[in-house]
Structure 1
Amino acid sequence: MTDRPSARATVALVADDFTELPYPERESAPDGPLGWPGYGAARARAARRTGERESVICGTAHVGGVRAVLIAFDFGFLGGSLGERTGDRLVAAYSHARAHRLPVVPLVATGGSRMQEGMLALTQLQRVARESALTRAAGLPQIAVVRDPTTGGGWATLGAGADVVLALPGAQVGFAGSRVRPADADPAAYTAEAQVAAGAADALVGPEELRGTLGRWLRLLTRPSTAPVPPPPPLGATDLPATGWEAVGRARSTRRPRAAAYLDACLTDRVTVSGDRCGGTDPEGMLCGFGEQGGRTVAYAAQTGTATRPAGYRTAARLVRLADRLGIPVLTLVDTPGAANDAEAERQGAGAAIADLFGAVAAARTPVTTLVVGEGGSGGALALAAPGNTWATPDSYFSVIAPELAAAILKRPPEEAESTADRLRVRPQDLAELGVIRGVVDTPPA
């Protein structure tokens, strides 16, 4: 990506207006705090070239009708590098956001810390991290847009540290910049596309789509609600299964509606949260994001009917914690034969990932509603279920483990899987009678 628009051009790309904040003016020696020869002259040249006095501009703006604090880097000013004055501006921006209850949108394009200020520049990352943490604790969203390039400490704080990370296609994005990475390093690993694939960024967004996408995210993440999500009505069968084995067969049917159909039916204007921020994604096993329902925002984490990978559980836990901080109710859809149990899943920390999701759901203060829409296989399904507010569709089941595996554990022949399903009482009406779920959606009480 060779086109590197200025900070003000980038603001104009996404915002309807922009009012720059007043900045603290730090006094410094002509060649900076280290007396670096020629540093003062370099800053003066950068100011003449860009029309800016520092590498970042900060202000308030309306994006898609939502007022936010924008932080825009100008790569033309000393590579968008962070120095002491940059840190002062960033602190002022975050402080203003908290004082006025505004979301923060960093538009990042930086090579990292400014060499001519040495460790004084590097420690600005600690200041930024603290401001970001305080803003997170205040329940305000941070949505970063990473431009070309976003490397070094700017990526490791303002970029990757945001709640949601949107990346411009083709941008160089990574902790190691092009001049410091190993000579034999694969350049494709340091791209926006690679960061999305590795779960470190949520989505690629083209410049022409950036204003609309950013506005949608801001609208959805700035509408808290205290009311729980009502469980969606069933999209498949409405009559109850006669036997446990029939319940299992219905849930495993390829004709049964899946998570995507339920999300399409009950949510509009959806945006996707992708990636566990630990190097993994599970797009085939777990769908996470935010959508609109009746004029309010709902967060969702939905299993898709496959064995859920560790990255899927970690992404869901990330989603639940973000929704909890922002006061947004959560809908979870349970549908999995169980957690992935292959050797690679164990190497990726399946147990720890499931434990993390159990903990996130248990600790959530925002209301969580769960609907079992298909298979509920063991702890890999239960981790996503809300204690005390879980419902089931008539074409679902929930079991301590699949009936075939239960029979094997009990040393019974395979042909006893059917009778084992009955003994386990896996039907949705059995689960309601046992108190495991609150009820079966759209069926009369027993």
Structure 2
Amino acid sequence: MHSASNPLGWTGYEDSLVRAREATGAEESVTYGQVLIGDTDVMLVEFDFRFLGGSVGTATGDRLVHAFSTARAHGIPVVSLLATGGSRMQEGMFSLLQLQRVAQECYLNRESGIPHIAVLRNPTTGGVWASLGAGADIILGISGAQVAFGGKRVRSAEDADNPAFTAEGQYAAGQIDAVVTPESLPDVLSGWLDLLTGGTPEPADVPKALGHTELPATGWEAVQRARDPRRPGAAAYLESYFDSYALINGDRSGGVDSGVLCGIGRRGDRSIAFAAQTGTATQSAGYRTASRLITLADRFGIPVLTLIDTPGAANDAASESSGLAAAISGAFSAVAAAHIPVTTLVIGEGGSGGALALAGAGRTWITPDAYFSVIGPQAAAAILKRDPDEVSALADQLRLRPQDLLDLGIVAGIA
């Protein structure tokens, strides 16, 4: 018999619902309500895997829509605690269509500047992971949780226990931001909620230079200083600048570049987002992660600080195959489109467009230990077919010292 609660007339479905309600004490696989996490009022959405595998049916979709729309009306963040096998087979396509409704609500909240943190518990599979979970601003995975679009029962035998289908595997592939334990989850959530809701419109302060205070005498000295491994790097600047900070991870497209640190930090009573190069050649995933960070910060009114330190973009075959030019273009676009101010400090090497892609137009400073150039002097010598012994002279001709860049109007000041 067909009914609103059993649209396909699935034999035994009503009895399954009764048993699930008796076992859980809940009407559906999802419960929701406003709670305090730390000092932040949030809409908490929780899936119960005991209720028909945490599956989503039409009534579940109604609950998710109401939870997200209520959060939007009240301007409060959403925290989703997922544990689900995906769509409810007993409702067929009616169940699957709920994913479109959920995706629409996620989009509307995102456009309204409503933060969404998803927590992937064991298991998180199917369309709910691919819509509600993967669409969140910050994604946390519980250690050991199965996380995959295809559940274990529908994967091939050789993939059944592959670590790629775990929270740790998804983290390694840049799909989630952190793997946490159940015990640490409350503090992690509270910290992220403070960071995501603490933005102000004022630009980020320019960090204090941590290395030399005197300026380099020659262009080649500037290059050598910037390449000195003893020079303070991004990690030192972040530790000095922020009271505390949390990192995001990966480009959500399968890539991670450990040479770019992206996240949000607390400085005084406000949040500041950051994208910091660490001295290596920046990969496609690094630019995509930085773009994701800048776009996220812009949505929540959080100013951005970028720290430039790279000899340039990675130029190997793997980088070209992974869409390097498009990734650099995306970073330029993210900076250009941002409504929030992007403040930049060049703390080491500023090599070509690979460095410029993360620079705030008109808001770029440089330290005495850094240089910024259209290209490095060795590469310039190779392109111009100059002898290697002309490299130091080329460094002077490129006018790449901090004081040269200030005289030319390229930077706003020397930190």
Deviation at 1:186, TM superposition (A): 5.2
Q: TM-score, normalised by structure 2?
A: 0.98
Specify the SS of the correspondent of 1:386: coil
**Structure 2 residue identity aligned to 1:218:** L
Question: In percent, how many aligned pairs have the same letter?
Answer: 60
**Structure 1 residue identity aligned to 2:37:** V
1:404 aligns with 2:400: no
User: Once superposed, what is the RMSD of the aligned Cα atoms?
Assistant: 0.9
Deviation at 1:294, TM superposition (A): 1.4
Is 1:55–1:82's contact at 8 Å kept on the other side of the alignment? Answer: yes
| Structure 2 CA distance for aligned equivalents of residues 64 and 328 of structure 1 | 20
**Structure 2 residue identity aligned to 1:301:** A
1:123 aligns with 2:121: no
Equivalent in 222, 228, 234 of residue 197 of structure 2: 222
Is 1:31–1:38's contact at 8 Å kept on the other side of the alignment? Answer: no
Specify the SS of the correspondent of 1:179: helix
**CA 237–69 in structure 1, closer or farther in 2 if over 3 Å, else same:** same
| Structure 2 CA distance for aligned equivalents of residues 30 and 141 of structure 1 | 33
1:62 aligns with 2:36: yes
Residues 82-129 of structure 1: per-residue CA shift (max 9 Å, x gap): 000000000000111011000011100000000000000000000000
| Structure 2 CA distance for aligned equivalents of residues 181 and 321 of structure 1 | 35
1:40 aligns with 2:40: no
Equivalent in 274, 282, 286 of residue 249 of structure 2: 274
Instruction: Show structure 1 runs of 4+ deviating over 4 A.
Output: none
**Structure 1 residue identity aligned to 2:413:** G
Residue 164 (structure 1) aligns with: 138
**Structure 2 residue identity aligned to 1:227:** E
The within-5 A match list for 1:70-109 is 70-109=44-83
Aligned residues: 413
Deviation at 1:408, TM superposition (A): 1.0
| Structure 2 CA distance for aligned equivalents of residues 30 and 323 of structure 1 | 42
Equivalent in 264, 270, 273 of residue 296 of structure 1: 270
Deviation at 1:31, TM superposition (A): 6.2
Residue 370 (structure 1) aligns with: 344
| Structure 1 residue runs without a partner (length 5+) | 1-27, 442-446
Deviation at 1:30, TM superposition (A): 7.7
Residue 240 (structure 1) aligns with: 215
Specify the SS of the correspondent of 2:389: helix
| Structure 2 CA distance for aligned equivalents of residues 119 and 245 of structure 1 | 66
| Structure 2 residue runs without a partner (length 5+) | none
Residue 171 (structure 2) aligns with: 196
Is 2:199–2:272's contact at 8 Å kept on the other side of the alignment? Answer: no
Residue 415 (structure 1) aligns with: 389
Residues 6-50 of structure 1: per-residue CA shift (max 9 Å, x gap): xxxxxxxxxxxxxxxxxxxxxx82860111000000000000011
Deviation at 1:254, TM superposition (A): 1.1
Residue 21 (structure 1) aligns with: none
Is 1:196–1:203's contact at 8 Å kept on the other side of the alignment? Answer: yes
Deviation at 1:349, TM superposition (A): 1.0
Specify the SS of the correspondent of 1:184: helix
Residues 133-190 of structure 1: per-residue CA shift (max 9 Å, x gap): 0000001110000000000011001111100100000000010011111222252121
Residues 254-292 of structure 1: per-residue CA shift (max 9 Å, x gap): 111000000000112211110100001112x10000110
Is 2:243–2:268's contact at 8 Å kept on the other side of the alignment? Answer: no
Equivalent in 175, 179, 190 of residue 149 of structure 2: 175
